[in-house]
Structure 1
Amino acid sequence: MLTYTGLASIPKARSQLAIGVGFAMIITGTTCLFVSVLTLMTDGVAATTHWWQAIATAAIAWLLSRYTSRSQT
Structure 2
Amino acid sequence: MTRHDEPNEYGFAGEVALPEPEPPHKRDAVAEEAEETAVPGSDLSREFQEALADSDHYENADDDDPAPPRPR
Q: Assess same fold via TM > 0.5.
A: no
Which one has more relative contact order, counting CA pairs under 8 Å at least 6 apart?
1
Larger Rg: 2
Greater helix proportion: 1
TM-score range relative to shorter protein:
0.3 to 0.5
Structure 2 length as normaliser, TM-score?
Answer: 0.39
